[in-house]
Amino acid sequence: MFPNIEERHPGLGEVFSGVFTSQVSPLSNLATPYPVVQCMLQMAGLRKKDVLYDLGSGDGRILITAVQQFGVKAVGVELNDSLVRWTISRVERLDFQDKIHILRTNFFTVDLREADVVTMYLGNEANHLLRPKFEKELRPGTRVVSHHFQVEDWEPLEVSTLLVPETGRNHTVYLYRMPQEARSSTVYRR
């Protein structure tokens, strides 16, 4: 379903196959359920001045919830055209154009240096491929919050698991914080 992603980054398509089937919600099966979105944003400790990046922003639910509840600025990066259009129409209906910016591109090409918080619900391989980018670009203190998938070799600051009635299963969220001191990768490696 995502041949170009799979070709360039083998394994990245792992959690995305079979998405975008519904007319009503283009991401109903693979979006982060709202209780988990809440948990992710609370764990990130969002403050109004923060800039949040959601890598693979899907239908924009993390961006919109972050703006509605925490008043942050948010940037979504999404490759899929229909999801980008869906998100932009929601953003316009809510009049959030000054708060939410959507980039229709590959998140590997996006400069993440302005992010205070990065959220993602991707896959083990994607997290593995993103790790060197994070270590290079994210500023000390930036929080990385991942639904379900860990960042290999990083020690989470916090792990939360919650049972979501809508899916009938436990969802786990991992919070990481880029080290305050040196950018040396040894600081946050296990």
Residues 185, 180, 62, 124: what is their CA dihedral angle, to the nearest 10 degrees?
20
The answer to the question of residue 124 lying near ligand SAM (CB under 6 A) is no
The answer to the question of residue 58 lying near ligand SAM (CB under 6 A) is yes
Write down the least CB distance from residue 93 to ligand SAM, Å: 18
User: What phi and psi values does residue 82 have, to the nearest 5 degrees?
Assistant: -65, -35
The answer to the question of residue 16 lying near ligand SAM (CB under 6 A) is yes
CA-based end-to-end distance of the chain:
35
**120 beta partners:** 55, 146
Write down the least CB distance from residue 179 to ligand SAM, Å: 25
Contact stretch for ligand SAM (CB under 6 A) within 102-110, 138-146, 158-166, 173-181: 102-110
Contact stretch for ligand SAM (CB under 6 A) within 51-59, 138-146, 158-166, 170-178: 51-59
Q: What beta strand segments (E) does the chain contain?
A: 51-55, 73-77, 100-103, 117-120, 143-147, 158-164, 169-177
Instruction: Assign residue 18 a region (left: φ > 0; alpha: ψ between -120 and 50; beta: otherwise).
Output: left
Q: Count the helix, strand and coil residues of the chain and give each as a percent rounded to the nearest 5.
A: 35, 20, 45
Instruction: Select 9 or 177, whichever has its Cβ closest to ligand SAM.
Output: 9
Among 50, 52, 78, 102, indicate the residue that binds ligand SAM (CB under 6 A): 78
Instruction: Assign residue 58 a region (left: φ > 0; alpha: ψ between -120 and 50; beta: otherwise).
Output: left
Residues in contact with ligand SAM, shown as a per-residue x/- string from 147 to 166 under the rule CB under 6 A: x-------------------
Instruction: Select 10 or 140, whichever has its Cβ closest to ligand SAM.
Output: 10
Instruction: Select 16 or 96, whichever has its Cβ closest to ligand SAM.
Output: 16
Cβ–Cβ under 8 Å, residues 66 and 41: yes
Looking at beta carbons, which residue is closest to ligand SAM? 56
Per CB under 6 A, residues contacting ligand SAM are 5, 12, 15-16, 30-32, 54, 56-58, 61-62, 77-80, 83, 106-108, 121-122, 147
